Structure 1
Amino acid sequence: MGQHQPPYIRVADDLRRRIQSGEWEVGARLPSRAKLAEEYGVGTNVTQRAQERLITEGLLEGRAGSGTYVREPRQRARMVRSRHHESRDGSPFRADMKELGKHGSWDCHSEARVPAPEDIAQRLAIQPEALCVRTDYEFLADNRPAQLSTSWEPMAVTDGTPILLPEMGPMAGTGVVERMRSIGVAVERAVELPHPARATPQQAGLLGITPGELVLRIERTYYDQDGRPVETADIIVPDSRWEVAYEVPLPPGS
């Protein structure tokens, strides 16, 4: 192990080597932090940081009151973001999961008359505190957590229409594009900004991952034919389960 690295990095590197060599099998409980600290000649705070690093990487998992265990490797599925994704009837998420041989479903909670925070107001080109409908989604693949989303729609667009609450009324279970079309709003484009992030404790609890684990936060905004933002959302995708690919259609003959 290199001598110029922080002690916890050197310990993490060696623990990773030992796990990958098969010294501890999947599901095996690692020795206590105190025992590892004695073995490596470091303090328990060093072994704790080393284990936390490997938890973040997905090699280990902590179990409350039990210890730290070698985590079962998770196969990453591919999530494709494309225009095709938005043009299908019904729920784009359900259609995506069907293509992967999985059953897509979701739980959600909507709240109307929520004042827009400043950052959301900027994304929607409305005044701060303007009233919106906020919907929190927990998306499931084969009844296992797959991704999270928090959606904001200006009530100036949907108030007084049957689609005010996204998951109620005649268009329940359909995507934003199809819902907006039902009230005469033609969504022309979507802009997505992906950002690497770390899972908050709340997000980790909902996704069944470890706090601080790597996630992809996709900031998505839909625009109508006049360039007006009609919905924006933050989509949280756990990196250990999904790789995200963007499909870029090219004009014919290009």
Structure 2
Amino acid sequence: MQSPVYIQIHNQLKQDIEAGKWHVGERIPSERELAVDFSVSRMTLRQAIQTLVDEGILERRVGAGTYVASQKVQEKMSGVTSFTDVMLAQGKRPSSRTISYHVANPSISEVEKLKLKDDAQVLRMERIRFGDGVPISFEVATVPYDLVAAFSKAEVTRSLYHTLEKKGGLQLGGARQMVTATLASEKIAEYLDIKRGEAILRLRQVSFLNDGRPFEYVRTQYVGSRFEFYLDR
């Protein structure tokens, strides 16, 4: 199964950055230039760039272009908590709307984060998450397909964590989380019913089973005015 074109471009750009073609803080070529270089549409190229931005590899600067991101200070947060549990704990009704749901070859980033074998496939899904019908976040979650192959789409999208625990008999462990601030793109603003350029909290998280195996790589963008993180020390 061949990866989508935007994933192939993502992989090539990530490899170029790691090889030192562009250094931290350096501006990469414009989307127009890169689209010509890769012989793809601006839309496809923009999707590849956005994936790298969501992963914290690139960063957009308003009016200045796209740059190789500098490493951010990371704050450790405790535990793995599902969105469903967070909403229920606050007395809100959790729900979600699935934007896309498909089995695919993993990107280089997904292979690295989930420690996948060369022939592994992943389930990649995009969802808008709601609390009492109000959009809270947009997430792109990637899971090793062998972990969820036996479950229905409804079981996975309703609450992945509950399904893995209750039906899969798996024990969830900890997570590695990175939170950064950004601004809502036009696409995210439409999904979350906010204005383009509003404050967004972006979470990148790798979640682990109790035996240390990574089972989920998720990139989530939260509406800054509707969600906050707190740390237990």
Q: Is the Cα–Cα contact under 8 Å of residues 84 and 94 in structure 2 kept in the other structure?
A: yes
Counterpart check, 1:179 vs 2:163: yes
- Report how far residue 143 of structure 1 moved: 1.5
Cα distance in structure 1, aligned partners of 2:215 and 2:209: 7
Please say if residues 187 and 224 of structure 1, whose CA atoms lie closer than 8 Å, have aligned partners that are also in contact: yes
Q: For structure 2, list consecutive stretches of 5 or more residues without a partner in the other structure.
A: 1-61, 63-76
Counterpart contact for 2:139–2:220, Cα < 8 Å: yes
The answer to which of 113-122 and 124-133 deviates more is: 124-133
* Cα drift, residue 82 of structure 1: 5.3
Aligned 8 A contact 1:222 1:229 in 2: yes
| TM-score w.r.t. length of structure 1 | 0.54
Identity over aligned pairs, percent: 20
Map residues 183-202 of structure 1 onto 2, 5 A cutoff.
183-202=168-187
Q: How does 1:146-161 map onto structure 2 within 5 Å?
A: 146-159=136-149, 161=150
Instruction: Give distance in 2, aligned partners of 1:225 and 1:142.
Output: 31
Q: Distance in 2 between matches of 1:240 and 1:224?
A: 31
Q: Give 1:128 shift.
A: 6.7
Aligned length: 158
CA separation of 1:156 and 1:172: change in aligned 2, threshold 3 A = closer
TM-score, normalization by structure 2: 0.58
Query: Whole-Å Cα distance in 1 between the matches of residues 217 and 89 of structure 2?
Result: 25
- Report the CA distance between 1:241 and its aligned residue: 2.5
Which protein has the larger Cα radius of gyration, Structure 1 or Structure 2?
1
The counterpart of 1:162, out of the listed 132, 145, 151, is: 151
Indicate the residue corresponding to 1:27 in structure 2.
none
- Does the Cα contact within 8 Å between 1:223 and 1:230 map onto a contact in 2? yes
CA distance in 2, matches of 1:217, 1:128: 29
Q: Is the 8 A contact 2:99 2:128 kept in 1?
A: no
* RMSD value, Cα: 2.8
